Amino acid sequence: MRISELAEATGVPVHTLKFYLREGVLMPGTATSRTRAEYGPEHVERVRLVRGLVEYGGVSVEGVRSIVRALESPPPSRPELLGVAHATLPAGPTRGEVSAEVAALVDDLGWQVWHEGPPVAELSSALEAARGAGVPVSPEALRRYARAMEAVAEVDVDVAAAAASPTEALHTVVVGTVMVDPVLVALRRMAQEAVSVARG
């Protein structure tokens, strides 16, 4: 298909597709002449991925570029997969050092995590910000939140393990981590309603 048909198939204006091509988040089509190129279903898929990441994942175009680069590279081995995935994903704001409460939590839960990794720093900063905003998270509440997210991660790992190939597994982990976050946020709000009603 030509660029105008790709635009029609995805609902994204031609101009925006050109922009994505320029920014390197959409791979070029196969040129049929100096001023003509052919696009296929993989381009449709890619455009939907880009839009999903930008609109729902809040990922910048530069972040998307780093993600699609990773998806196009030879996939890492199983144990390295998460490290690569988390290094690829755009990190939230981080400021201070890793707080003692996070170290205590990790220790308490028996989690084996990379203490210098982005998620640990992000958690410290997020807790600090919540405290500053007047909503301190008690150690007890934090523990219960962590247990719940462990259950989420169990699902994540199950889904990734079901992937047919390493390439697909990487795609599932990277894209799934970003795109499922808004799903969880919505579910949390719905669950708040449900629990609140159930408590009467």
- Among 19, 27, 86, 179, which residue interacts with DNA (rule: CB under 7 A)? 19
Q: Does 179 bind DNA (CB under 7 A)?
A: no
157-181 CB burial, b ≥16 within 10 A, e <16 = eeebeeeeeeeebbbbbbbbbbebe
Site membership for a copy of itself, residue 104 (CB under 8 A) = no
Q: Does 109 bind a copy of itself (CB under 8 A)?
A: yes
Q: From residue 141, how far is each of 33, 38, 91, 166 by CA, in Å?
A: 62, 54, 24, 36
Among DNA, a copy of itself, none, the one that 115 touches (CB under a kind-dependent 5 to 8 A) is: none
Task: Pick between residue 31 and residue 194 the one whose CB is nearest to a copy of itself.
Answer: 194
Distance CA 132, CA 125 (A): 10
Site for a copy of itself in 26-45 (CB under 8 A): 45
Q: Could you give the CA distance from residue 52 to residue 72 in angstroms, rounded to a whole number?
A: 18
For a copy of itself, the binding residue among 14, 27, 37, 146 (CB under 8 A) is: 146
Q: Is 69 in the site for DNA (CB under 7 A)?
A: no
How far apart CA 57 and CA 153 sit, in angstroms, is 18
Residue 124: C-alpha distances to residues 31, 90, 102 (Å): 49, 17, 6
Which of a copy of itself, DNA, none lies near 164, with the C-beta cut-off 5 to 8 A by kind?
none
Minimum Å gap between C-beta 31 and DNA is 6
Q: Which one among 9, 27, 44, 54 touches DNA, defined by CB under 7 A?
A: 54
- Which residue do the tokens 């839009």 mark? 51
If contact means CB under 5 to 8 A according to the sort of partner, which of a copy of itself, DNA, none does residue 88 touch? Answer: none
